[in-house]
Amino acid sequence: MKLSIRAKLLIGFTILLLLSSLIQAFAFNLSRGYISSLIDNNQTLQAKKGALEIQDFFTGINEVSSGLARQYKEEVLNAGTSGSVGNFVAINNYSIANNEQINKITYLAKSGRELYKFDQHGELASDKLSYEVPTDAFTNATEGKTAISKVYFLDGELGPHIDIFSPAYDKNHNVSGVIKMQIKLESLRKSLENVKYGEKGYMYVVDNEGRLITHPSQEFVNERPNLMSRNIIGLTLQNKDVATKDEIYTNENKVPVFAKAEKIPGINWVAVVEQPLSDADGYLIFIRNIYITTLFGATILLLIIALFLSENFTRPIRKLQKEAESIGKGDFHNVEIIKTGDEIESLSLSVSSMVNQLLARENSIKKENQEMTTLLQSLYDAVIGLDSENHIIAFNKAAEKLTGYTAQQVSNKHIDEVLELHYDDEKILFETYNNQSSMLISKLREKGLNMTNQRGEHLTISVTTSPILFEDKKTGSIIAFHDMTKEHQLEEMKIDFVSMAAHELRTPLTAIRGYAQLLEMQKASLMDESGKELIQRLVISSESLSNLIDNLLSVARIERNKFDVEKKPIKLEGLINNVVETVKHQALTKKQELELNIGKDLPTVMADPFRITQVILNLVANASTYTNEGGKISIAAFRKDNTLQVSITDTGQGIPSEAIPKLFKKFFRVSGVLEQGSKGTGLGLYISKSIIEMHNGKIWVESELGKGSQFSFSLPIATDDDIKNYQEHASMDIVNRSGQHVIIRR
């Protein structure tokens, strides 16, 4: 997933926030539990406190009651009927006056008859005394147990009342009667008002039957409600566990409240501390609000920080990114250093130095490129650059001039689409002239290729190609064209001139030769020896002039590709023997030894006997010419691999090594041997080479200065196919009128 740094930061912060809110929520829950239990405990404590208050209230009453019981025993029972009860009355009156909660005190006989009765006004007259209704509480008291009556209300008096029945004992420690004290619970309410809880918390008390005994609101008490419907009361009375849900109920004012109850031991009443739920939860809500507020604040703060930080982080990165993008597009400007003092600064430093290096490198490449372009454009020869697919990628001015195309026109075109080169009538493709090993290539170099350019000019060009290698892989080629047209035309003119001159010379020469022969044939016998010698010299000279002219014409024909060979299967032995016969005379006059080493069963070759004779004759005649008197000339013919090789070895003066490469070129003669005689024309070896090459053979020389030379040529041995082919085509030969095959010598 692709996310910007800002998004990642924001996500990170969000996760942080979520975690912290989870922790907060957990902490809140913990504290809520703690606070709840705190509130809970506190309220319970208050309830207990209330219960104690009530117990104290009753303890106080009991103390009064037991004091009165003692007084009653001593003053009334022990004294008997004779004694005065004045002290006893005074104590009772005092007790009522000083104990607000005591409304009445009544002394009862076990039968229930009222014996004495005191109220706020003092002792009641005996005629106002009556009988007590024997309630459970009264009965309990007669049995020695202090008991409390049910709550009851008195007309015209505020609040409920109860009666407390306590047993009164005689000196024998028997229950002689019961002391009944009427208690105003109004006073209990007052003392319970001190029990406060929180803002609005208060306490109320119900008796064992659920009747409301005290409540801060007197009116509610006066309504005399039974609050047993509040589960908390019933459950507490039965000493059962009170669930939290039972501690919450809606009170008489329809306010949801939270309550805690405590059973008062002994009297089985229940003290309940009640406070509005809103108050109980108020604290929690307050804490929750603090949590929420801090969380919200923290969120906003974190967001701001995250935005600020991410902006701070990403601004330099974005800046660097923009720089990098423009660098990628080739805009090598100076990169501004981002001063953040951190990794980004060092990154921008690296980028900057990288750009500087790139810039330097680009400049040097540009410079080199410019140099190369200038070099290329200023070349006189046409230069074309090709890619690996042989499409044109460079085309210099000379190339434009040569072809008539502009560089734009040919850009990315295949070379063969642009340049149509011909050799004779054959179209030569790039594949061919690029093939360095091709047999054709040297010929093409030498003779040039024909081409018609866009302006319709016919040109002769020579082509050189070189591959462009990059890490040993060919990535393209460079073709250089040299316009040979003028040279070629000059060459043609030269050949034309030579050819024409030779032809023109021939007719008078033929006449000279004819007359010389006639003279030799018909008149020599009439002459003396010196006349005969003169005639002989005339014949020989005219003969050699004729040979020279023949050679010149042959060269002209070779140059024009009009020199043909008529190949047929032949054996070379006969030819060699003929040559030996021809040169025998010359060799004899120079006292040279002629040696023949012809192998047995020489293979047949496809050759033109006339031309090959010409070659052998030329080589042997040369050997004889350049070998001193008494030297030795050997002619060897033998099979070598798939060729038939002929070697002519002499013991002549040899050829300087620097002359060897030029030996087979036309008009070349080894300097320093010019004086040897007029025989050499510098054409013989050139013609020989041409003839051998037309036979797909090879001709070469090995020589050592002062020791002699060896000229050799080899011809491919005729295959059965060659012979068969020849025989099939022989029938197409020209025949004369007598039906004989005629070979026309060309």
* Residues at the interface with another protein (CB under 8 A): 503, 506-511, 513-515, 517-518, 521-522, 546, 549-550, 553, 557, 734-738, 742, 744-746
Question: CB of residue 738 vs another protein: minimum separation in angstroms?
Answer: 7
Nearer CB in complex with another protein: 260/513: 513
Helix (H) or strand (E) holding 228: none
Report the residue number, 610 or 638, with the smaller CB distance to another protein: 610
Tell the smallest beta-carbon distance from residue 544 to another protein (Å): 13
* Whole-angstrom distance, CA of residue 410 vs CA of residue 419: 10
Q: Closer CB to another protein, residue 265 or residue 739?
A: 739
* Residue placing its CB nearer to another protein in the complex, 285 or 518: 518
What's the rounded Cα separation, in Å, for the pair 314 and 321?
A: 10
Shorter beta-carbon distance to another protein: residue 554 or 651: 554
Q: Quote the least distance from Cβ 479 to another protein, whole Å.
A: 37
DSSP string, 633-695: EEEEEEEETTEEEEEEEE-S----GGGGGGTTSTT---TT-GGG-S---S-HHHHHHHHHHHT
Q: Which is nearer to another protein, 133 or 744 (CB)?
A: 744
**CB nearer another protein, residue 377 or residue 546:** 546
Whole-number Cα distances in Å, 604 to 33, 156, 693:
123, 169, 18
Q: State how far the Cα of 744 lies from the Cα of 688, in Å rounded to an integer.
A: 20
List, as own/partner pairs, every contact residues 455-462 make where C-beta atoms lie below 8 angstroms and the sequence separation is at least 24, other chains included.
455/404, 457/404, 457/485, 458/485, 459/402, 459/483, 459/485, 460/484, 460/485, 460/487, 460/488, 460/489, 461/382, 461/402, 461/421, 461/485
CB 564 → another protein: shortest distance, Å? 8
Instruction: Single out the residue of 451, 464, 463, 461 nearest to residue 485, CA to CA.
Output: 461
Give the pair of three-digit tokens for residue 678: 């007029």
CA distance 744 to 734: 8
CB of 509 to another protein, least distance (A): 8
Least Å distance, CB 705 to another protein, is 37
**Smallest distance from another protein to CB 591, Å:** 28
H or E, element range at 724 = helix 720-730
What is the radius of gyration, based on Cα positions, of the chain? 74
How many Cα atoms occupy the beta-carbon half-sphere of 22 within 13 Å? 6
- Which residue has 């196919």 as its token pair? 721
| Closest approach of another protein to the CB of residue 604, in Å | 26
Handedness of CA 506, 511, 514, 517 (dihedral sign): negative
Nearest residue to 215 (alpha-carbon basis) of 227, 230, 231: 227
Shortest separation between residue 532's beta carbon and another protein, angstroms? 17
Residue with tokens 């909660």: 101
Give CA–CA dist 583/205, Å, rounded. 167
CA distance 617 to 610: 10
- 468 versus 694: smaller Cβ distance to another protein: 694
| CA–CA separation, 539 and 509 (whole Å) | 11
* Nearest distance, CB of residue 518 and another protein, angstroms: 6
Nearer to another protein, 20 or 517 (CB): 517
600 vs 745, which CB is nearer to another protein? 745
Two structure tokens written together for 400 = 């434009």
- Cα–Cα distance for residue pair 355/359, rounded to 1 Å: 6
Give the nearer residue to another protein in terms of CB position, either 439 or 521: 521
Closest distance between another protein and the C-beta of residue 685, in Å? 21
Nearer to another protein, 55 or 547 (CB): 547
* Nearest distance from C-beta of residue 480 to another protein, angstroms: 37
Q: Which residue has the tokens 């939860």?
A: 281
* Complex with another protein: residue 332 or 563, whichever CB lies closer: 563
The least CB distance from residue 521 to another protein, in Å, is: 7
Q: Which residue, 517 or 582, has its beta carbon nearer to another protein?
A: 517
Q: Smallest distance from the beta carbon of 565 to another protein, in angstroms?
A: 13
Sheet of 593-598, strands arranged across: 593-598, 632-640, 643-650, 708-716, 698-704
Minimal distance in Å, beta carbon 495 to another protein? 13
Q: Which 3 state secondary structure label does DSSP give 1?
A: coil
Q: Are 55 and 264 within 8 A, CB to CB?
A: yes
Which residues pair with residue 649 across a beta bridge? 634, 710
Closest CA to 338 of 357, 355, 351: 351
Identify which of residues 557 and 679 has a Cβ nearer to another protein in the complex: 557
